[in-house]
Chain A
Amino acid sequence: MNDVLESLFRAEVRGLTLHRVQGHGGETERVETYRGTTVKMELSEKVRLEIGVSDHFVQPTVNAILSAAQTGAVGDGKIFVLPVEKVYRIRTAEEDQAAVTPVG
Protein backbone atom coordinates (compact mmCIF):
# COMPACT_ATOMS: atom_id res chain seq x y z
CA MET A 1 0.00 0.00 0.00
CA ASN A 2 2.78 2.42 0.85
CA ASP A 3 4.42 1.68 -2.52
CA VAL A 4 1.21 2.58 -4.29
CA LEU A 5 0.88 5.81 -2.34
CA GLU A 6 4.46 6.78 -3.13
CA SER A 7 3.92 6.01 -6.78
CA LEU A 8 0.75 8.12 -6.90
CA PHE A 9 2.39 11.04 -5.17
CA ARG A 10 5.23 10.92 -7.64
CA ALA A 11 2.65 11.10 -10.43
CA GLU A 12 1.27 14.25 -8.78
CA VAL A 13 -1.95 12.50 -7.76
CA ARG A 14 -2.61 13.45 -4.15
CA GLY A 15 -6.33 13.35 -3.69
CA LEU A 16 -7.52 9.91 -2.69
CA THR A 17 -9.67 8.00 -0.20
CA LEU A 18 -8.63 4.64 1.20
CA HIS A 19 -11.04 2.02 2.51
CA ARG A 20 -10.01 -1.16 4.28
CA VAL A 21 -12.34 -3.81 2.98
CA GLN A 22 -12.70 -7.55 2.78
CA GLY A 23 -12.90 -9.17 -0.57
CA HIS A 24 -12.69 -12.30 -2.59
CA GLY A 25 -10.80 -12.68 -5.82
CA GLY A 26 -9.44 -15.71 -7.53
CA GLU A 27 -7.17 -16.62 -4.64
CA THR A 28 -6.71 -20.17 -3.37
CA GLU A 29 -8.30 -20.76 0.02
CA ARG A 30 -6.63 -19.89 3.30
CA VAL A 31 -7.16 -22.40 6.07
CA GLU A 32 -6.91 -21.48 9.74
CA THR A 33 -7.08 -23.76 12.76
CA TYR A 34 -8.32 -22.81 16.22
CA ARG A 35 -8.10 -25.75 18.61
CA GLY A 36 -10.38 -28.43 17.24
CA THR A 37 -11.97 -26.23 14.61
CA THR A 38 -10.64 -25.77 11.08
CA VAL A 39 -12.07 -22.99 8.96
CA LYS A 40 -11.66 -21.73 5.41
CA MET A 41 -11.17 -17.97 5.25
CA GLU A 42 -13.18 -16.94 2.19
CA LEU A 43 -12.72 -13.21 2.63
CA SER A 44 -9.28 -11.62 2.64
CA GLU A 45 -8.18 -8.21 3.85
CA LYS A 46 -8.07 -5.88 0.87
CA VAL A 47 -7.74 -2.21 0.15
CA ARG A 48 -9.96 0.00 -2.00
CA LEU A 49 -8.83 3.37 -3.31
CA GLU A 50 -11.11 6.03 -4.73
CA ILE A 51 -9.34 8.67 -6.78
CA GLY A 52 -11.04 11.45 -8.75
CA VAL A 53 -8.91 12.99 -11.54
CA SER A 54 -9.41 15.01 -14.69
CA ASP A 55 -9.34 13.16 -17.99
CA HIS A 56 -5.69 13.75 -18.89
CA PHE A 57 -4.66 12.40 -15.48
CA VAL A 58 -6.44 9.07 -15.83
CA GLN A 59 -3.66 7.25 -17.69
CA PRO A 60 -0.82 8.53 -15.44
CA THR A 61 -2.82 7.45 -12.40
CA VAL A 62 -3.51 4.01 -13.84
CA ASN A 63 0.16 3.61 -14.76
CA ALA A 64 1.28 4.66 -11.29
CA ILE A 65 -0.97 2.08 -9.63
CA LEU A 66 -0.11 -0.70 -12.06
CA SER A 67 3.62 -0.22 -11.62
CA ALA A 68 3.49 -0.17 -7.83
CA ALA A 69 0.74 -2.66 -7.01
CA GLN A 70 1.57 -5.46 -9.41
CA THR A 71 2.98 -8.55 -7.71
CA GLY A 72 2.19 -11.11 -10.38
CA ALA A 73 0.15 -13.18 -7.94
CA VAL A 74 -3.58 -13.82 -8.12
CA GLY A 75 -5.29 -11.25 -5.90
CA ASP A 76 -3.52 -8.14 -7.24
CA GLY A 77 -6.92 -6.63 -7.87
CA LYS A 78 -8.58 -4.45 -10.49
CA ILE A 79 -8.75 -0.83 -11.57
CA PHE A 80 -12.17 0.37 -12.63
CA VAL A 81 -12.23 3.62 -14.61
CA LEU A 82 -15.65 5.19 -14.12
CA PRO A 83 -17.13 8.37 -15.63
CA VAL A 84 -18.00 11.14 -13.20
CA GLU A 85 -20.92 13.49 -13.93
CA LYS A 86 -19.83 16.48 -11.88
CA VAL A 87 -17.23 17.33 -9.27
CA TYR A 88 -17.36 20.16 -6.69
CA ARG A 89 -14.65 21.34 -4.35
CA ILE A 90 -16.47 22.02 -1.08
CA ARG A 91 -14.13 24.74 0.18
CA THR A 92 -14.43 27.01 -2.86
CA ALA A 93 -17.44 25.62 -4.74
CA GLU A 94 -15.26 25.21 -7.87
CA GLU A 95 -16.59 22.76 -10.41
CA ASP A 96 -15.28 20.00 -12.64
CA GLN A 97 -11.77 20.57 -14.00
CA ALA A 98 -10.99 23.36 -11.51
CA ALA A 99 -12.17 21.22 -8.61
CA VAL A 100 -9.61 18.49 -9.19
CA THR A 101 -6.68 20.75 -10.06
CA PRO A 102 -4.35 20.99 -7.07
CA VAL A 103 -3.99 24.42 -5.47
CA GLY A 104 -0.57 26.05 -5.23
Chain B
Amino acid sequence: MNFADIAWMLVATALVLLMTPALGFFYGGLVRSKNALNTMMMSVSALGFVGIGWALAGYSIAFAPGNALVGDMSRALLRGVGLEAQGTIPHLLFFSYQGTFAIITAALISGAIVERMRFGSYLAFLFLWGIVVYAPVAHWVWGGGWLSRLGALDFAGGTVVHVNAAAAALVAALVLAPRKDYARQAILPHNVPFTLLGAGLLWFGWFGFNAGSALGANASAALAFTNTMLAPVATLVVWTLLDLVRSAKATAVGAATAIVVGLVAITPAAGFISPVSALLLGAAAAFPSYAALLWRARTRLDDSLDVVAAHGVGGTVGALLTGVLAQKSWNGTADGLLFGNPRQLAIQAAAVLAVAVYSAGATWGILKLVALFARVRATTREEGLGLDVTQHGEEAYTSGEGAILVLHEAEGPAAPLPEPVLAPGGGAS
Protein backbone atom coordinates (compact mmCIF):
# COMPACT_ATOMS: atom_id res chain seq x y z
CA MET B 1 0.00 0.00 0.00
CA ASN B 2 1.11 3.51 -0.79
CA PHE B 3 0.47 6.17 1.83
CA ALA B 4 0.59 9.05 -0.64
CA ASP B 5 -2.03 7.28 -2.74
CA ILE B 6 -4.19 6.71 0.33
CA ALA B 7 -3.93 10.35 1.37
CA TRP B 8 -4.89 11.62 -2.05
CA MET B 9 -7.75 9.17 -2.49
CA LEU B 10 -9.18 10.08 0.90
CA VAL B 11 -9.31 13.69 -0.25
CA ALA B 12 -10.57 12.77 -3.72
CA THR B 13 -13.46 10.80 -2.24
CA ALA B 14 -14.52 13.78 -0.15
CA LEU B 15 -14.22 16.06 -3.18
CA VAL B 16 -16.48 13.87 -5.27
CA LEU B 17 -19.00 13.58 -2.48
CA LEU B 18 -19.13 17.39 -2.32
CA MET B 19 -20.18 17.38 -5.97
CA THR B 20 -23.60 15.97 -5.11
CA PRO B 21 -24.73 18.85 -2.87
CA ALA B 22 -23.02 21.16 -5.37
CA LEU B 23 -25.26 19.70 -8.05
CA GLY B 24 -28.16 20.46 -5.75
CA PHE B 25 -27.22 24.12 -5.80
CA PHE B 26 -26.56 24.12 -9.54
CA TYR B 27 -29.94 22.63 -10.34
CA GLY B 28 -31.75 24.33 -7.46
CA GLY B 29 -30.90 27.82 -8.66
CA LEU B 30 -32.31 27.10 -12.09
CA VAL B 31 -35.83 26.16 -11.00
CA ARG B 32 -38.66 28.27 -9.61
CA SER B 33 -38.55 29.09 -5.91
CA LYS B 34 -41.62 26.99 -5.16
CA ASN B 35 -39.65 23.92 -6.27
CA ALA B 36 -36.23 24.82 -4.86
CA LEU B 37 -36.19 22.35 -2.00
CA ASN B 38 -37.60 19.49 -4.03
CA THR B 39 -34.97 19.99 -6.69
CA MET B 40 -32.14 20.12 -4.18
CA MET B 41 -33.52 17.13 -2.34
CA MET B 42 -33.45 15.14 -5.57
CA SER B 43 -29.67 15.48 -5.42
CA VAL B 44 -29.17 15.21 -1.67
CA SER B 45 -31.38 12.14 -1.31
CA ALA B 46 -29.19 10.30 -3.81
CA LEU B 47 -26.50 10.30 -1.14
CA GLY B 48 -28.80 8.10 0.91
CA PHE B 49 -30.72 5.97 -1.51
CA VAL B 50 -28.00 5.30 -4.06
CA GLY B 51 -25.37 5.08 -1.36
CA ILE B 52 -27.23 2.36 0.47
CA GLY B 53 -27.83 0.43 -2.74
CA TRP B 54 -24.10 0.66 -3.44
CA ALA B 55 -23.23 -0.88 -0.10
CA LEU B 56 -25.87 -3.59 -0.36
CA ALA B 57 -25.30 -4.77 -3.92
CA GLY B 58 -24.11 -2.09 -6.32
CA TYR B 59 -20.44 -2.31 -5.51
CA SER B 60 -20.43 -6.05 -5.96
CA ILE B 61 -22.23 -5.91 -9.29
CA ALA B 62 -19.79 -3.27 -10.49
CA PHE B 63 -16.44 -4.46 -9.22
CA ALA B 64 -16.62 -8.04 -8.00
CA PRO B 65 -15.20 -10.62 -10.36
CA GLY B 66 -17.92 -12.08 -12.54
CA ASN B 67 -18.69 -12.32 -16.22
CA ALA B 68 -18.63 -9.86 -19.10
CA LEU B 69 -21.87 -8.24 -17.99
CA VAL B 70 -22.03 -8.19 -14.18
CA GLY B 71 -19.90 -8.90 -11.18
CA ASP B 72 -21.06 -11.62 -8.80
CA MET B 73 -22.47 -10.99 -5.32
CA SER B 74 -19.29 -11.97 -3.48
CA ARG B 75 -18.81 -8.35 -2.40
CA ALA B 76 -22.43 -7.65 -1.49
CA LEU B 77 -23.14 -6.23 1.97
CA LEU B 78 -19.47 -5.27 2.20
CA ARG B 79 -18.35 -8.87 2.59
CA GLY B 80 -14.77 -9.20 1.48
CA VAL B 81 -14.41 -5.43 1.50
CA GLY B 82 -11.98 -4.56 4.23
CA LEU B 83 -8.68 -2.86 4.83
CA GLU B 84 -6.70 -5.12 2.53
CA ALA B 85 -5.14 -3.55 -0.54
CA GLN B 86 -7.14 -2.91 -3.67
CA GLY B 87 -4.40 -1.58 -5.91
CA THR B 88 -2.35 0.60 -3.58
CA ILE B 89 -5.19 1.77 -1.34
CA PRO B 90 -7.42 -0.02 1.17
CA HIS B 91 -10.36 -1.82 -0.41
CA LEU B 92 -12.85 0.15 1.68
CA LEU B 93 -11.47 3.38 0.32
CA PHE B 94 -11.83 2.18 -3.25
CA PHE B 95 -15.39 1.11 -2.41
CA SER B 96 -16.16 4.53 -0.96
CA TYR B 97 -14.62 6.44 -3.82
CA GLN B 98 -16.57 4.48 -6.41
CA GLY B 99 -19.72 4.91 -4.37
CA THR B 100 -19.55 8.68 -4.69
CA PHE B 101 -19.57 8.21 -8.46
CA ALA B 102 -22.70 6.09 -8.37
CA ILE B 103 -24.42 8.69 -6.22
CA ILE B 104 -23.77 11.67 -8.45
CA THR B 105 -24.54 9.78 -11.65
CA ALA B 106 -28.04 9.02 -10.45
CA ALA B 107 -28.51 12.55 -9.12
CA LEU B 108 -27.69 13.97 -12.55
CA ILE B 109 -30.85 12.44 -13.97
CA SER B 110 -33.01 14.63 -11.75
CA GLY B 111 -32.20 17.68 -13.89
CA ALA B 112 -34.46 16.40 -16.64
CA ILE B 113 -37.44 15.72 -14.42
CA VAL B 114 -37.55 18.64 -12.01
CA GLU B 115 -40.75 20.30 -10.85
CA ARG B 116 -43.02 17.34 -11.62
CA MET B 117 -42.08 14.04 -9.98
CA ARG B 118 -43.58 12.52 -6.86
CA PHE B 119 -40.75 12.31 -4.39
CA GLY B 120 -41.45 8.83 -3.02
CA SER B 121 -41.40 7.37 -6.51
CA TYR B 122 -38.19 9.24 -7.20
CA LEU B 123 -36.53 7.64 -4.16
CA ALA B 124 -37.56 4.19 -5.34
CA PHE B 125 -36.28 5.03 -8.80
CA LEU B 126 -32.90 6.15 -7.41
CA PHE B 127 -32.45 2.99 -5.40
CA LEU B 128 -33.24 0.70 -8.31
CA TRP B 129 -31.32 2.71 -10.88
CA GLY B 130 -28.05 2.64 -8.95
CA ILE B 131 -28.16 -1.15 -8.76
CA VAL B 132 -29.71 -2.09 -12.09
CA VAL B 133 -28.23 0.53 -14.42
CA TYR B 134 -25.17 2.21 -12.92
CA ALA B 135 -23.50 -0.85 -11.44
CA PRO B 136 -23.58 -3.06 -14.55
CA VAL B 137 -22.39 -0.21 -16.78
CA ALA B 138 -19.54 0.48 -14.36
CA HIS B 139 -18.71 -3.21 -14.55
CA TRP B 140 -18.65 -3.13 -18.35
CA VAL B 141 -16.15 -0.26 -18.50
CA TRP B 142 -14.19 -0.40 -15.24
CA GLY B 143 -14.95 -3.71 -13.55
CA GLY B 144 -13.44 -6.00 -16.16
CA GLY B 145 -16.56 -6.28 -18.27
CA TRP B 146 -16.96 -6.46 -22.03
CA LEU B 147 -16.30 -2.81 -22.87
CA SER B 148 -13.02 -2.79 -21.00
CA ARG B 149 -12.05 -6.00 -22.84
CA LEU B 150 -12.96 -4.24 -26.08
CA GLY B 151 -10.47 -1.53 -25.14
CA ALA B 152 -12.86 1.35 -24.49
CA LEU B 153 -11.12 4.32 -22.84
CA ASP B 154 -13.06 6.10 -20.14
CA PHE B 155 -10.77 7.72 -17.62
CA ALA B 156 -13.28 9.06 -15.12
CA GLY B 157 -16.73 8.33 -16.51
CA GLY B 158 -17.65 10.10 -19.73
CA THR B 159 -19.67 7.05 -20.66
CA VAL B 160 -20.25 5.41 -17.28
CA VAL B 161 -21.49 8.63 -15.73
CA HIS B 162 -22.51 11.21 -18.28
CA VAL B 163 -23.82 9.32 -21.30
CA ASN B 164 -25.40 6.86 -18.90
CA ALA B 165 -27.21 9.56 -16.91
CA ALA B 166 -28.19 11.52 -20.01
CA ALA B 167 -29.79 8.54 -21.73
CA ALA B 168 -31.73 7.84 -18.56
CA ALA B 169 -32.64 11.52 -18.29
CA LEU B 170 -33.97 11.61 -21.83
CA VAL B 171 -36.20 8.61 -21.23
CA ALA B 172 -37.36 9.94 -17.88
CA ALA B 173 -38.25 13.32 -19.37
CA LEU B 174 -40.29 11.57 -22.07
CA VAL B 175 -42.02 9.18 -19.67
CA LEU B 176 -42.89 11.90 -17.19
CA ALA B 177 -44.16 14.26 -19.89
CA PRO B 178 -43.55 18.02 -19.83
CA ARG B 179 -44.44 20.36 -17.00
CA LYS B 180 -47.79 22.05 -17.40
CA ASP B 181 -46.09 25.41 -17.82
CA TYR B 182 -43.47 24.25 -20.27
CA ALA B 183 -43.56 26.21 -23.53
CA ARG B 184 -46.56 28.13 -22.20
CA GLN B 185 -45.26 30.30 -19.40
CA ALA B 186 -41.88 31.89 -18.87
CA ILE B 187 -40.04 29.63 -16.43
CA LEU B 188 -37.05 31.48 -15.03
CA PRO B 189 -34.26 30.52 -12.64
CA HIS B 190 -35.01 31.81 -9.17
CA ASN B 191 -31.44 32.06 -7.91
CA VAL B 192 -28.66 32.28 -10.46
CA PRO B 193 -26.07 32.91 -7.71
CA PHE B 194 -26.85 29.39 -6.42
CA THR B 195 -26.19 28.02 -9.90
CA LEU B 196 -22.85 29.81 -10.06
CA LEU B 197 -22.00 28.54 -6.60
CA GLY B 198 -22.90 25.03 -7.66
CA ALA B 199 -20.76 25.28 -10.78
CA GLY B 200 -17.79 26.47 -8.76
CA LEU B 201 -18.12 23.71 -6.20
CA LEU B 202 -18.62 21.15 -8.98
CA TRP B 203 -15.38 22.26 -10.62
CA PHE B 204 -13.58 22.00 -7.30
CA GLY B 205 -14.97 18.54 -6.68
CA TRP B 206 -14.27 17.46 -10.24
CA PHE B 207 -10.56 17.57 -9.54
CA GLY B 208 -11.26 14.65 -7.24
CA PHE B 209 -13.51 13.06 -9.85
CA ASN B 210 -10.95 13.14 -12.67
CA ALA B 211 -7.59 13.20 -10.94
CA GLY B 212 -8.80 10.70 -8.36
CA SER B 213 -9.61 8.29 -11.14
CA ALA B 214 -5.87 7.74 -11.43
CA LEU B 215 -6.38 5.92 -8.11
CA GLY B 216 -3.06 7.23 -6.89
CA ALA B 217 -0.94 10.29 -6.25
CA ASN B 218 1.04 9.99 -9.44
CA ALA B 219 1.81 11.54 -12.81
CA SER B 220 -1.47 10.36 -14.32
CA ALA B 221 -3.35 12.18 -11.58
CA ALA B 222 -1.36 15.32 -12.27
CA LEU B 223 -2.19 15.11 -15.97
CA ALA B 224 -5.88 14.52 -15.28
CA PHE B 225 -5.87 17.39 -12.76
CA THR B 226 -4.33 19.80 -15.23
CA ASN B 227 -6.66 18.78 -18.02
CA THR B 228 -9.58 19.26 -15.62
CA MET B 229 -8.43 22.84 -15.25
CA LEU B 230 -7.68 23.52 -18.92
CA ALA B 231 -10.65 22.04 -20.75
CA PRO B 232 -13.38 23.97 -18.91
CA VAL B 233 -11.28 27.11 -19.24
CA ALA B 234 -11.45 26.75 -23.00
CA THR B 235 -15.14 25.87 -22.97
CA LEU B 236 -15.91 28.90 -20.83
CA VAL B 237 -14.14 31.25 -23.23
CA VAL B 238 -15.79 29.83 -26.33
CA TRP B 239 -19.22 29.73 -24.69
CA THR B 240 -18.92 33.34 -23.55
CA LEU B 241 -18.05 34.36 -27.09
CA LEU B 242 -21.00 32.38 -28.42
CA ASP B 243 -23.28 34.18 -25.95
CA LEU B 244 -21.89 37.55 -27.01
CA VAL B 245 -22.41 36.73 -30.68
CA ARG B 246 -25.95 35.49 -30.09
CA SER B 247 -27.30 38.19 -27.78
CA ALA B 248 -24.44 40.63 -27.07
CA LYS B 249 -24.70 39.57 -23.43
CA ALA B 250 -22.49 37.04 -21.67
CA THR B 251 -24.87 35.34 -19.27
CA ALA B 252 -24.06 33.94 -15.84
CA VAL B 253 -26.19 30.88 -16.48
CA GLY B 254 -24.21 30.40 -19.68
CA ALA B 255 -20.94 30.60 -17.78
CA ALA B 256 -22.08 28.05 -15.24
CA THR B 257 -23.28 25.77 -18.03
CA ALA B 258 -20.06 26.14 -19.96
CA ILE B 259 -18.01 25.12 -16.96
CA VAL B 260 -20.05 21.97 -16.55
CA VAL B 261 -19.96 21.12 -20.26
CA GLY B 262 -16.18 21.48 -20.33
CA LEU B 263 -15.81 19.30 -17.26
CA VAL B 264 -18.14 16.67 -18.68
CA ALA B 265 -16.26 16.57 -21.95
CA ILE B 266 -12.82 16.17 -20.37
CA THR B 267 -14.01 13.47 -17.97
CA PRO B 268 -13.37 10.48 -20.25
CA ALA B 269 -10.17 11.99 -21.62
CA ALA B 270 -8.56 13.52 -18.55
CA GLY B 271 -5.69 11.07 -18.09
CA PHE B 272 -5.38 10.03 -21.73
CA ILE B 273 -4.67 13.21 -23.68
CA SER B 274 -2.12 16.00 -23.64
CA PRO B 275 -2.85 19.38 -22.06
CA VAL B 276 -2.92 21.09 -25.43
CA SER B 277 -5.41 18.48 -26.61
CA ALA B 278 -7.46 19.25 -23.51
CA LEU B 279 -7.70 22.90 -24.51
CA LEU B 280 -8.82 21.88 -27.99
CA LEU B 281 -11.30 19.38 -26.60
CA GLY B 282 -12.75 21.95 -24.24
CA ALA B 283 -13.12 24.52 -26.99
CA ALA B 284 -14.66 22.02 -29.39
CA ALA B 285 -17.12 20.71 -26.82
CA ALA B 286 -18.77 24.12 -26.47
CA PHE B 287 -20.33 24.10 -29.92
CA PRO B 288 -22.43 20.91 -29.98
CA SER B 289 -23.75 21.44 -26.46
CA TYR B 290 -24.60 25.09 -27.13
CA ALA B 291 -26.47 24.12 -30.26
CA ALA B 292 -28.24 21.25 -28.49
CA LEU B 293 -29.36 23.63 -25.75
CA LEU B 294 -30.91 26.04 -28.21
CA TRP B 295 -32.52 23.26 -30.21
CA ARG B 296 -34.07 21.53 -27.21
CA ALA B 297 -35.74 24.74 -26.00
CA ARG B 298 -37.65 24.86 -29.25
CA THR B 299 -38.92 21.27 -29.00
CA ARG B 300 -41.60 19.70 -26.86
CA LEU B 301 -38.99 17.74 -24.92
CA ASP B 302 -39.00 19.09 -21.38
CA ASP B 303 -35.47 18.03 -20.46
CA SER B 304 -35.83 20.86 -18.03
CA LEU B 305 -32.23 21.54 -17.09
CA ASP B 306 -30.66 20.26 -20.29
CA VAL B 307 -29.08 17.09 -18.99
CA VAL B 308 -28.94 15.73 -22.52
CA ALA B 309 -27.23 18.82 -23.95
CA ALA B 310 -24.66 19.07 -21.17
CA HIS B 311 -24.04 15.45 -20.19
CA GLY B 312 -25.25 13.48 -23.17
CA VAL B 313 -23.79 15.58 -25.93
CA GLY B 314 -20.81 16.67 -23.82
CA GLY B 315 -20.07 13.14 -22.69
CA THR B 316 -20.35 11.77 -26.22
CA VAL B 317 -18.12 14.50 -27.65
CA GLY B 318 -15.60 13.82 -24.90
CA ALA B 319 -15.71 10.07 -25.39
CA LEU B 320 -15.28 10.35 -29.13
CA LEU B 321 -12.52 12.94 -28.89
CA THR B 322 -10.76 10.62 -26.46
CA GLY B 323 -10.69 8.19 -29.35
CA VAL B 324 -9.13 10.91 -31.48
CA LEU B 325 -6.72 12.62 -29.11
CA ALA B 326 -5.48 9.79 -26.88
CA GLN B 327 -1.71 9.81 -26.84
CA LYS B 328 0.29 6.84 -25.61
CA SER B 329 3.28 9.06 -24.92
CA TRP B 330 1.14 10.82 -22.33
CA ASN B 331 -0.99 7.97 -20.98
CA GLY B 332 1.08 4.83 -21.43
CA THR B 333 -1.98 2.91 -22.59
CA ALA B 334 -3.27 3.73 -26.04
CA ASP B 335 -3.25 6.12 -28.96
CA GLY B 336 -6.23 7.65 -30.70
CA LEU B 337 -7.02 8.43 -34.31
CA LEU B 338 -4.65 11.38 -34.57
CA PHE B 339 -1.74 9.29 -33.37
CA GLY B 340 -2.18 6.36 -35.68
CA ASN B 341 -4.98 4.30 -34.12
CA PRO B 342 -8.29 4.86 -35.93
CA ARG B 343 -9.79 1.78 -34.33
CA GLN B 344 -10.01 3.55 -30.97
CA LEU B 345 -12.60 5.99 -32.26
CA ALA B 346 -14.82 3.14 -33.39
CA ILE B 347 -14.47 1.43 -30.01
CA GLN B 348 -15.42 4.67 -28.24
CA ALA B 349 -18.50 5.07 -30.43
CA ALA B 350 -19.54 1.50 -29.76
CA ALA B 351 -19.22 2.00 -26.03
CA VAL B 352 -21.28 5.20 -26.08
CA LEU B 353 -23.99 3.53 -28.12
CA ALA B 354 -24.12 0.39 -25.99
CA VAL B 355 -24.36 2.30 -22.72
CA ALA B 356 -26.94 4.74 -24.08
CA VAL B 357 -29.17 1.94 -25.34
CA TYR B 358 -28.95 -0.11 -22.16
CA SER B 359 -29.45 2.87 -19.88
CA ALA B 360 -32.43 4.12 -21.85
CA GLY B 361 -34.11 0.73 -21.94
CA ALA B 362 -33.47 -0.17 -18.32
CA THR B 363 -34.52 3.29 -17.11
CA TRP B 364 -37.78 2.95 -18.98
CA GLY B 365 -38.32 -0.42 -17.33
CA ILE B 366 -37.63 0.91 -13.84
CA LEU B 367 -40.02 3.84 -14.29
CA LYS B 368 -42.76 1.54 -15.53
CA LEU B 369 -42.12 -0.80 -12.59
CA VAL B 370 -42.32 2.00 -10.04
CA ALA B 371 -45.48 3.26 -11.71
CA LEU B 372 -47.14 -0.09 -10.97
CA PHE B 373 -46.90 0.64 -7.26
CA ALA B 374 -47.23 4.40 -6.93
CA ARG B 375 -48.04 7.60 -8.77
CA VAL B 376 -44.87 8.84 -10.38
CA ARG B 377 -46.08 12.18 -11.74
CA ALA B 378 -47.26 15.09 -9.64
CA THR B 379 -50.74 16.35 -10.48
CA THR B 380 -51.21 19.69 -12.21
CA ARG B 381 -52.51 21.08 -8.93
CA GLU B 382 -49.36 19.94 -7.13
CA GLU B 383 -47.28 21.49 -9.90
CA GLY B 384 -49.11 24.76 -9.47
CA LEU B 385 -48.73 24.87 -5.69
CA GLY B 386 -45.11 23.86 -5.96
CA LEU B 387 -43.45 20.62 -5.01
CA ASP B 388 -41.76 22.02 -1.91
CA VAL B 389 -45.10 22.39 -0.22
CA THR B 390 -46.82 19.37 -1.72
CA GLN B 391 -43.99 16.82 -1.56
CA HIS B 392 -42.00 18.03 1.43
CA GLY B 393 -44.36 20.14 3.51
CA GLU B 394 -41.71 22.82 3.61
CA GLU B 395 -41.03 26.17 2.05
CA ALA B 396 -37.61 27.32 1.00
CA TYR B 397 -38.23 31.02 1.40
CA THR B 398 -40.92 31.76 3.92
CA SER B 399 -40.92 34.74 6.23
CA GLY B 400 -43.02 32.86 8.74
CA GLU B 401 -45.66 35.60 8.59
CA GLY B 402 -49.05 34.09 9.19
CA ALA B 403 -47.61 30.88 10.60
CA ILE B 404 -49.37 29.84 13.78
CA LEU B 405 -47.91 27.35 16.20
CA VAL B 406 -49.79 24.08 16.49
CA LEU B 407 -49.91 23.08 20.15
CA HIS B 408 -50.52 19.54 21.28
CA GLU B 409 -53.79 18.95 23.20
CA ALA B 410 -52.38 18.16 26.64
CA GLU B 411 -50.21 21.24 26.87
CA GLY B 412 -51.01 24.89 27.05
CA PRO B 413 -48.52 27.54 25.99
CA ALA B 414 -45.05 27.02 27.48
CA ALA B 415 -45.22 30.03 29.79
CA PRO B 416 -47.97 32.54 30.53
CA LEU B 417 -47.85 35.66 28.37
CA PRO B 418 -46.24 38.62 30.17
CA GLU B 419 -48.69 41.26 31.38
CA PRO B 420 -48.47 44.54 29.47
CA VAL B 421 -47.07 47.34 31.62
CA LEU B 422 -49.18 50.50 31.70
CA ALA B 423 -47.23 53.72 32.24
CA PRO B 424 -48.89 56.52 34.31
CA GLY B 425 -50.79 58.85 31.95
CA GLY B 426 -52.38 56.08 29.90
CA GLY B 427 -49.62 55.49 27.33
CA ALA B 428 -49.78 51.91 25.96
CA SER B 429 -46.86 49.42 26.04
Contact = CB atoms under 8 A, between A and B. Distances in A.
B303 to A, nearest CB: 11
B293 A34 contact: no
A37 interface: yes
A17 interface: no
Contacts of A37: 186-187, 297
A33 to B, nearest CB: 5
B186 A35 contact: no
A33 B298 contact: no
A38 to B, nearest CB: 8
B293 A36 contact: yes
B345 to A, nearest CB: 30
What is the size category of the interface that chain B forms with chain A? 20 to 34
A56 to B, nearest CB: 29
Which secondary structure characterizes the binding site on chain A? Answer: strand
B253 A36 contact: no
Nearest to A38: B247
A39 interface: yes
B294 A36 contact: yes
Given A39-B186, A39-B188, A33 B297 contact: no
A28 B249 CA distance: 18
Contacts of B388: none
Contacts of B186: 37, 39
B249 A33 contact: yes
Contact of A34 (B188, B298, B427, B428): B188
A33 B293 CA distance: 12
A19 to B, nearest CB: 15
Scoring A35, A36, A91 by chain B CB atoms within 10 A of each residue's CB, the highest score goes to A35
A35 B298 contact: no
Interface string B397-429: 000000000000000000000000000000110
Contacts of B295: 36
Nearest to A35: B293
Contact of B253 (A35, A38, A39): A35
B112 to A, nearest CB: 14
A35 B188 contact: no
Contacts of B298: 36
Contacts of B91: none
A37 B189 CA distance: 11
B65 interface: no
Contacts of A38: 247
A34 B189 contact: yes
B248 to A, nearest CB: 10
Nearest to B295: A36
Interface in B257-312: 257, 293-298, 306
B251 interface: yes
A35 B297 contact: yes
Nearest to B291: A36
B384 interface: no
B90 interface: no
B254 interface: yes
A36 B249 contact: no
B247 A33 contact: yes
Contacts of B187: 37
B253 A34 contact: yes
Interface of B: 186-189, 246-247, 249, 251, 253-254, 257, 293-298, 306, 427-428
Interface of A: 32-39, 91
12 contacts: A33-B246, A33-B251, A34-B189, A34-B251, A35-B257, A35-B293, A36-B293, A36-B294, A36-B296, A37-B186, A91-B427, A91-B428
Given A33-B246, A37-B187, A39-B186, 16 more contacts: A33-B251, A34-B189, A34-B251, A35-B254, A35-B257, A35-B297, A35-B306, A36-B293, A36-B294, A36-B295, A36-B298, A36-B306, A37-B186, A39-B188, A91-B427, A91-B428
